[in-house]
Amino acid sequence: MSKYKTKRRLLLIGRILILAFFLFIVCLPIYWMLITSLKTTADINTLDIQYWPANPTFQNYENVLQQSNFIYYLKNSVVVSVVTGIIVLFVAITGGYGLSRYKYRGKGVTMLGFLVTQMIPMTLILVPMFLIFHSVNLGDTLTSLIILYVVINVPFCVITMQGFFANIPIAVEEAASIDGCSKFQVITKIVLPIMLPGIIAVFVFAFIGAWNDLLGGVMFINSELNKTLPVGLSSYVGQFSINWGEMCAGGMLALIPSALLFVMVQKYIVEGMTSGAVKG
């Protein structure tokens, strides 16, 4: 019995160590950005490395919030990322289901086709899309960005979703069909709840994909008030100098929505099986 106890204690310590290790490597760069955002320009540009700001200041945050269109950037990014996430999710669920549950001719080719699109040089996608958007009067709009991000993220997400569907034994569905459920009911009532962690993960994937993109934002958006966060933040990187203080302050502020998202969704990702809908 005591042997069992020691083993458990060892496991616990191991787990704590692992968790601490991840916290450390994740936090080191973020901590660096955080303290940079609280430093004055002179304290940033010094060889005397400060691990805590010598003259802590919120000036950078004030500048970001007051002198730039940060609030607009934030709003645009949230709108674009959420809408992208929802649309991609819908396409990925249908596509992923179709790919994982049916055998039909051309399936392998379809999947390969999805993957091949990932190798087209980005510029070759951007230019024709740019032309299309201009001809239908969508130039310089958030809509154009949403469409771009949906297009870019769909192949990844469909295939990922297909992987999640494939994790679930087909027997689950068959059992439900025998019980008299329609296909639609099987999917919405049985399969999707089990899939919830995967669904959330794919949503997060598409959301983050849209949230982080710089190139599309730079190319498709012209007016100041339509810019997204990465585009706004990249303007702190000048030709001759980087405005580290304000860039880090903006970066920290931009983290808040994603951090909230992660905290919100983590519950669903880890609690997928509790619904008890499945019995093998």
Partner 1 sequence: MKKKLLSIGLVAALLVSAFAAGCGKKNTDGDDKKTDGKVKEIRFMDVTPNPAREQAFQELIKDFNDKNPDVKVVYESTPWDQSHNKLVTLGSAGSLPDVFIMHQQWNAEFTSAEWVTPLDDYIADWKDADKIIPYVKNVLMEYDQKNVYGYTFGIPDGLTTAAMFVRTDWLEEAGLTTEDLETWEGIFEASKKLTIPEKNQYGFAFRGARMGSEQMGMYMLAELGGKLYEEDGTCRINSPEGIEAFKKYCALYKDGYAPQDAINWGYTEMVQGFTSGLSGILNQTSEVVATCEDSMEDGTWTTIPFPRASDGNIYSKADSYYMAMSNQSKNKDEAWRFIEFMLEPENNRKLSEACLFIPVMEGAENDPRFTEGGMKGFVDSMNDPTFIREPFYGYFPELGEFMETFYDAEVQKYLLGQQTAEESIKNISDYLTTAQQKYMQESPDTPIPTSVRTDGSEVK
Partner 2 sequence: MNKKKKLEPHIFMTPSYLILLVFLGYPLLNCIRLAFSNYKITQLNNVTFAGFDNFLKIFQDKEIAMISLNTFKFVIFTLALQLVLGFILAMALKRPFRGRGIYQGIVFLPWAFSGFIVGLTFQWLFNAEYGPINDILLKFGLISEKISFLGSPKYALWTVIIALAWQGIPFFGIMILAALQSVDAGLVEAAVIDGANAFQRFWHVTIPCIKPTLIVTIMLRTIWIFNNADIIYIMTNGGPANTSHTLASYMFTKAYSTLDFGYASALGVLFMVGMIIYVCAFVKVTKYNQEDA
How many residues can be counted in the chain?
280
Region 119-148 residues binding partner 1, contact defined as CB under 8 A:
123, 126-127, 130-131, 134, 138-139, 141-143, 146-147
Selection from partner 1, partner 2, none that 192 binds (CB < 5 to 8 A by kind) is: none
Is position 149 an interface residue for partner 2 (rule: CB under 8 A)?
no
Is position 90 an interface residue for partner 1 (rule: CB under 8 A)?
yes
Which CB, 56 or 169, lies closer to partner 2? Answer: 169
Picking from 59, 32, 76, 5, the residue whose alpha carbon sits closest to that of residue 224 is 76
Q: Which stretch binds partner 1 (CB under 8 A): 30-38, 171-179, 212-220, 261-269?
A: 212-220
Which CB, 47 or 178, lies closer to partner 1? Answer: 47
Are 168 and 101 in contact, with CB atoms under 8 Å apart? no
Q: Residue 104: which H helix or E strand, with range?
A: none
Which CB, 58 or 90, lies closer to partner 1? Answer: 90
Region 63-102 residues binding partner 2, contact defined as CB under 8 A:
90-92, 94-95, 97-102
Q: Phi and psi at residue 221, in whole multiples of 5°?
A: -110, 130
What is the Cα Rg of the chain in Å? 24
Selection from partner 2, partner 1, none that 80 binds (CB < 5 to 8 A by kind) is: partner 1
Residue 54 to residues 30, 44, 51, 247, Cα–Cα distance (Å)? 18, 10, 9, 19
Task: Assign 261 to helix, strand or coil.
Answer: helix
- CA separation for the pair 44, 151 (Å, rounded): 40
In the set 161, 191, 204, 231, which binds partner 1 (CB under 8 A)? 231
Q: How far is the CB of 57 from partner 2 (least distance, A)?
A: 19
Which CB, 155 or 232, lies closer to partner 1? Answer: 232
Number of H helices, E strands in the chain: 13, 0
Q: How far is the CB of 184 from partner 2 (least distance, A)?
A: 12
Picking from 75, 218, 85, 220, the residue whose alpha carbon sits closest to that of residue 143 is 220
What number of chain residues touch partner 2 (CB under 8 A)? 104
Selection from partner 2, partner 1, none that 23 binds (CB < 5 to 8 A by kind) is: partner 2
Q: How far is the CB of 177 from partner 1 (least distance, A)?
A: 12
Is position 120 an interface residue for partner 2 (rule: CB under 8 A)?
yes
Half-sphere exposure of residue 91: CA atoms within 13 angstroms, side-chain side: 19
Which CB, 194 or 226, lies closer to partner 2? Answer: 194
- CA separation for the pair 23, 20 (Å, rounded): 5
Are 52 and 35 in contact, with CB atoms under 8 Å apart? yes
Task: State the Cα angle at 205 between 121 and 235, rounded to 5°.
Answer: 65
Q: List residues binding partner 1 (CB under 8 A).
A: 41-42, 44-47, 67, 76, 79-80, 83, 86-87, 90, 94, 123, 126-127, 130-131, 134, 138-139, 141-143, 146-147, 182-184, 214-215, 218-219, 222-226, 231, 234-235, 237-242
